[in-house]
Amino acid sequence: MPTSRRVVIVVFPDVDLLDVTGPAEVFALANREIAALEDAGPPDGGRVDGGPQDGDRVGGGRVDGGRMGYRVQLAGPAGGAVTTSAGVRLLADLTFAEVGGVLDTLLVPGAVDAGPGGPVARIDREVVEWVRATAPQARRVASVCVGAHLLAAAGLLDGRTVTTHWSTAAQLAADHPAVTVDPDPIFLRSGNVWTGAGISACMDLALALVAEDLGEELALAVARQLVMYLKRQGGQSQFSVPLSRPPTARRDIDELRMFIADHLDADLSAPALARRMHLSERHFARVFRQETGTGAASYVEAARVEAVRRLLESTDQPLEQVAAACGIGSVETLHRALRRRTGTSPAAYRRRFRTAG
């Protein structure tokens, strides 16, 4: 029986630093939480079954029975120092040739080059070939940020719905027509393959892996240690509605957008919003569209549907309560709005993205 879950994170020149260190920190803190739980012991003083044997050490933390922790290794094309995109150097524990054996989790971050139209995901053929050969040895495979491009190039994403950083989603879809790319969620799971959005979302992906392995309660404890505002669910958008567009030229419109986000159950009809702005309805409609690029009714619906998605992912509230809390009004209206915005029903959305217990 293995004494820890072996996690191998791929590193190579110009890899995104946080995409490597963020998940590694999550796994390390999970080990700390496991050690604290096992040191405290079960309520009845008995042994917790199902994990490593007493006295095993996992990632520097002692595990007394109970739950199996993580052993993180960095693997690169060559041993030694790897310079990341931030200029900070990491030390690879192993060369690709030295990894061998069975893996619990293969984690693949990415790297980008500057292109005339924005970031372009870099495809390192040596990394792609090694990932293709190594993935069958892993219980699960996960990409972080533009690492999805490497998994796709290795043929691991064909027929799957995946996500990646919003800035390279169009490139991924164009390069791999057999892959369905959804640029909105912060992470997605398809069988034993997980894909995550960029930068800070690597922490959310890693927390979801911990939740799958060790339970939601322990993952939340890790999130608290990381001083994360909350443990975001996978279906949450990479951009919340207020952040989906830059600040406008008018402070009063920006303040109205924040008011909408904070008062979703209020009367947010166009006449009510126009009165709040002390404008005629016609002038308000023209100003709001000019500043935000969308109509007020569409903006309000998008904000309410975003709140609906959060509640579907994180609670078991009946649809009547969800609709009321988000100002949608009725379950029928909720169904129509969610299908219009996401192409799916509340039940299907909840099945796909529900992770909390």
pLDDT, tens digit, 9 for 90 and up, residues 42-97: 544 443 333 333 333 333 333 334 578 999 999 999 989 999 999 999 999 999 99
Phi and psi angles of residue 305, each rounded to the nearest 5 degrees, phi first: -65, -35
**Which DSSP symbol is given to 327?**
T
The rounded distance, in Å, linking the Cα atoms of 132 and 151 is 8
pLDDT of 11 strictly over 70:
yes
Higher pLDDT pick, 30 / 293:
30
**pLDDT mean over 267-291:** 93
| Residue linked to tokens 């080059």 | 113
pLDDT of 148 strictly over 80:
yes
Written as six digits, the tokens of 134 are 């190594």
**Model pLDDT, residue 117:** 82
The rounded distance, in Å, linking the Cα atoms of 140 and 3 is 18
* Contact by Cβ (8 Å): 7, 27: yes
* Contact by Cβ (8 Å): 317, 291: no
- Could you tell me the sign of the dihedral formed by the alpha carbons of 165, 228, 224, 347, in that order? negative
Total count of residues recorded for the chain:
357
Higher pLDDT pick, 211 / 52:
211
Query: How large is the angle between the packed helices 201-214 and 216-225, nearest 10 degrees?
Result: 140
pLDDT (tens digit, 9 = 90+) per residue, 110-127? 999 998 888 999 999 999
Domains in the chain with CATH codes: 4-225 (3.40.50.880), 241-357 (1.10.10.60)
Higher pLDDT pick, 62 / 10:
10
